[in-house]
A and B are shown apart, each in its own frame.
Chain A
């Protein structure tokens, strides 16, 4: 079915030239890419066939017309930090349910972390993930391979083999690479295969058994703390290793003021470092743990109001390039237990965009900046083709209603897990339609 998207404003951070570029073989119809100009987009055979100011071109007879007045069309969003639990813990999330959650949150693509059971540290697991993702026919899945075999932090996993079947990056996410030389070798070896290296920065020796941020709340609650410095010393190590090896490194889920400062300085001195944060690190503080709410337990932990302000500042000035969900599904088996025993992490695919739009509504980011952090920048960091809205391009699009108010309801999540601290929050702005390859895979229009 061909689609005719009528009257939506286009927000495409990949294209700041003002004109719609045209791929060879497609009809030229340049229009101004301004967010205040409603446009019509014709999608034929999965590709964008034309873009024109609203009403300027006749509506093709073969197209289903979708009225998008007041809505925004953006290049498909990509979540560069998702945990799918397949293989191994399908009761928390399968690749199919994770993909469904992704498209319901407006993501057309997700990159999934290797800490499955077994670990994605070899090409047969990578192939398995890709096959399952294909069968789901929803979001595009970019598997991320392990840095070390079994995430054990001892020997390098087979980067080349995994790359040959389609991993997008390597990381030992959740199990920080404590061995400095191994990290150095990973950064070097990854260059042969043009693989981005993602680091979960955490010095495990700097706390024993910490379960939340070390600070006044941890003292009040009598819970062992994780000091901010446990993250920061590793951010510093990765930055210096990237400089040493003349490679690049991506810092996952930045949560502290000190990390933001270190990354800002490194970028200024020309070191090739990029960074992401997750919505909870600019939406919540350690206070959320009060009452021993295990849905406020994650790693890195929720920090202080001062850290939240620094994260927002880092997003504004570009120190933090991307926003990623760190979607980490867990069942009540892992969450309805004593706080110390509870698993780390929260689901995030279905709340990441609305929480990011909150930064737009509060004036911290422009709409274009917000979309860049959810689409253009993560694609650039993962060295993928930059999603864009141009004639001839595959139609992977996210349609956002920036003004739609709704109450977050975990029971409506498509994810198999419901571990979210945002249940009951009233938010404004969400994805209302997700189109992949010209096919509507999610529709919540009015």
Chain B
């Protein structure tokens, strides 16, 4: 118990996480899932901690998920959206953050329309920053919940074929998943209109094919992406109708995949555009499991950022030991056993700034 179990300060992107760290987060999340199945879905682990959800972009799923995750751990939460914040009065991100900082939050969860905003924020606040999606860069908690879902359904990640379909250029979900699944040993193929496949995407670890059929051939996991109409400049494809016809996923594609393939979508779904309703609601779909796992993954991250730190760094260990984190750590021992090698701060951006 002397060693710090998990020296993370911020969760900014998947790019800076090691496979060990990802496994550790997934293990922790798995052990937290049980809490959400209790009749009283609350543990006191983060009592007295404050989590601020700062959302500069519309979000239903992610925001609700973070809020529920924090509440089930007994943290106090506050959600601020762009329309109700001072941003409309012209306040800068840093000023908003500094003012919130003055109220001593422990974690700031940031959703922002511009890439790198969480990185900027993390340089200006003492609180931990969790990236809840930044522009077209990354959405690390989405990738973690997708990894958890796949591991749960398939029993492994390594060696699986994941096909990510659609608007790769504008998808932070795709970027995080390419990085995350590749790190965990999966083979990632991306496909979609050539106008929506960014240059050098192979450098993130993905194979590119312009043939949808080739992409889904033998795939263990098919992931459809939402067409982000708000990010399109109208030059990427001629019409929704044509997109649905040539790039929408349907049961014919599923027939090409592995027999036990699962179908995923980060939501919100444009039904009948990037994915047919039969596929989205069919027996292979795990779309709602993704949402369930989202809560567990976010609980795990909040706990790892705050709960374990409380136990380690505060002098008040007696009390803490009487009050251990509640989830039953059934598999693979206690999640506080450190998977990190000495000196490996993991690509979480450093502890101090």
Q: Is B252 close to A, CB under 8 A? A: no
**Chain A residues, Cβ within 8 Å of B114:** 338-341
Q: How far is the CA of A358 from the CA of B201 in the complex (A)?
A: 34
Determine the distance from Cα of A396 to Cα of B78 in the docked complex, in whole angstroms. 64
Q: Which of B119-148 contact A (CB under 8 A)?
A: 119-120, 134-138
Pick the contact of B204: A220, A336, A337, A341 (CB < 8 A): A220
Within the complex, the shortest CB–CB distance from A301 to chain B, in Å, comes to 14
Q: Is the interface of A mostly helix, strand, loop or mixed?
A: loop
Chain A residues near B204: list those with CB within 8 A. Answer: 219-220
Q: Which residues of A contact B200 (CB under 8 A)?
A: 215-216, 219
Q: With an 8 A cutoff between CB atoms, is A25 at the interface?
A: no
Beta-carbon contact of A292 and B115 below 8 Å: yes
What B residues does A208 contact at CB under 8 A? 233, 235
CB within 8 Å of A: which of B85-128? 92-94, 112, 114-117, 119-120
Q: Does A223 lie within 8 Å of B199, measured CB to CB?
A: no
Say if the beta carbon of B172 comes within 8 Å of chain A.
yes
Complex interface residues of chain B between 154 and 201 (CB less than 8 A to chain A): 172, 175, 198-201
CB proximity of A220 to chain B, nearest CB, Å: 7
List chain A residues, Cβ under 8 A from B138.
222
Closest to B202 in A: A216
In contact, B119 and A222 (Cβ under 8 angstroms): no
The chain B residue sitting closest to A291, CB to CB, is B119
CB distance from B220 to the nearest CB of A (A): 25
A87 CB within 8 Å of chain B: no
CA distance A214 to B200 in the complex (A): 9
Nearest residue, chain A, Cβ from B117: A338
Whether A318 sits at the interface, judged by CB under 8 Å, is no
A322-364 vs B, Cβ < 8 Å mask (1 yes, 0 no): 0000000000000011111100000000000000000000000
Give min CB distance, A184 to chain B, whole Å: 28
Given the known A-B contacts A208-B233, A216-B200, are A337 and B93 also in contact in the complex, defined by CB atoms under 8 Å? yes
Q: Which of B92, B119, B136, B198 contacts A292 (CB 8 A)?
A: B119
User: 1/0 contact trace for A422-439 toward B, CB 8 Å?
Assistant: 000000000000000000
Q: Does B199 contact A292, Cβ atoms closer than 8 Å?
A: no
**Least Cβ distance of A231 to chain B in Å?**
16
- Chain A nearest CB from B118 CB (Å) reads 10
Check A445 for interface membership: any CB of B closer than 8 A.
Answer: no
Q: Which residues of A contact B258 (CB under 8 A)?
A: none
Q: Which residues of B contact A222 (CB under 8 A)?
A: 115-116, 134-138, 172, 175
Taking the complex as formed, is A225 at the interface, i.e. its CB lies under 8 A from any CB of chain B? yes
Is A219's CB under 8 angstroms from B199's CB? yes
Binary contact readout A191-235 vs B (1 if CB under 8 angstroms, 0 otherwise): 000000000000000001000001110111111110000000000
A218: chain B residues at CB < 8 Å are: 198-199
**Residue B203 is within 8 A (CB to CB) of chain A in the complex:** yes
Contact B135 A292 (CB under 8 A): no
Q: Which residues of A contact B116 (CB under 8 A)?
A: 221-223, 292, 338-339
Please determine whether A214 and B199 come into contact, CB atoms closer than 8 angstroms: yes
* Residue B288 at the chain A interface, CB threshold 8 Å: no
The yes or no answer to B15 lying at the interface (CB within 8 A) is: yes
B58-101 interface code vs A (CB 8 A; 1 in, 0 out): 00000000000000000000000000000000001110000000
Q: Tell whether, in the assembled complex, residue A219 and residue B134 are in contact, meaning their CB atoms are under 8 Å apart.
A: no
For A225, the closest partner residue in chain B by CB is B199
Could you say which of A215, A221, A224, A340 has the most chain B C-beta atoms within 10 Å of its C-beta? A221
State whether B93 touches A338 (Cβ < 8 A): yes
Q: Are B92 and A219 in contact (CB under 8 A)?
A: no
Q: Which residues of A contact B137 (CB under 8 A)?
A: 221-223
Structural contact, B115 and A223, CB atoms closer than 8 A:
yes
* CA gap between A225 and B199 in the complex, in Å: 10
Contact B203–A220 (Cβ < 8 Å): yes
B175 to chain A, nearest CB (A): 6
Q: Which of A208, A218, A219, A336 has the most CB of B within 10 A?
A: A219
A72–B162 alpha-carbon span in the complex (Å) = 63
Bound form: Cα–Cα A287–B201 in Å: 16
- Shortest distance from the beta carbon of B328 to any chain A beta carbon, whole Å: 38
> Shortest distance in angstroms between A124's beta carbon and chain B's nearest beta carbon?
33
> In the complex, which residues 223-238 of chain B have their Cβ closer than 8 Å to any Cβ of chain A?
233, 235
Residues of B within 8 A of A221 (CB): 115-116, 137
Instruction: Return chain B residues, CB-CB under 8 Å to A340.
Output: 114-115, 135
Shortest B87–chain A CB gap in Å is 12
How distant is the Cα of A291 from the Cα of B117 in the complex, in angstroms?
Answer: 10
User: How far is B95's CA from A333's CA once the two chains are assembled, in angstroms?
Assistant: 11
A167 to chain B, nearest CB (A): 37
Contact present for A220 and B15 (CB under 8 Å) = yes
Shortest beta-carbon distance from B150 to chain A in Å = 23
Complex CA distance for A426 and B18, rounded to whole angstroms: 33
A336–B203 CB distance below 8 A: no
On whether the beta carbons of A219 and B198 are closer than 8 Å, the reply is yes
Q: Say yes or no: B199 contacts A339, CB within 8 Å.
A: no
Cα-based distance from A340 to B136 in the complex (angstroms): 11
Q: Which of A215, A336, A341 contacts B199 (CB 8 A)?
A: A215
Assess the B136–A337 pair: CB atoms within 8 A: no
Q: Which residue of B lies closest to A222 (CB)?
A: B137
- Report B39 CB to chain A, min CB distance, Å: 42
Q: How far apart are A208's CB and chain B's nearest CB, in angstroms? A: 5
Are B120 and A292 in contact, with the CB atoms below 8 A? yes
1/0 contact string of A66-99 vs chain B (CB within 8 Å): 0000000000000000000000000000000000
Complex A-B: 11 CB contacts under 8 Å: A219-B203, A220-B15, A220-B204, A221-B137, A222-B115, A222-B134, A222-B136, A223-B116, A223-B137, A291-B119, A339-B115
Q: Which residues of B contact A (CB under 8 A)?
A: 15, 92-94, 112, 114-117, 119-120, 134-138, 172, 175, 198-201, 203-204, 233, 235
9 nearest CB pairs, A to B: A222-B137, A292-B116, A216-B200, A222-B115, A222-B136, A338-B114, A219-B198, A216-B203, A340-B114
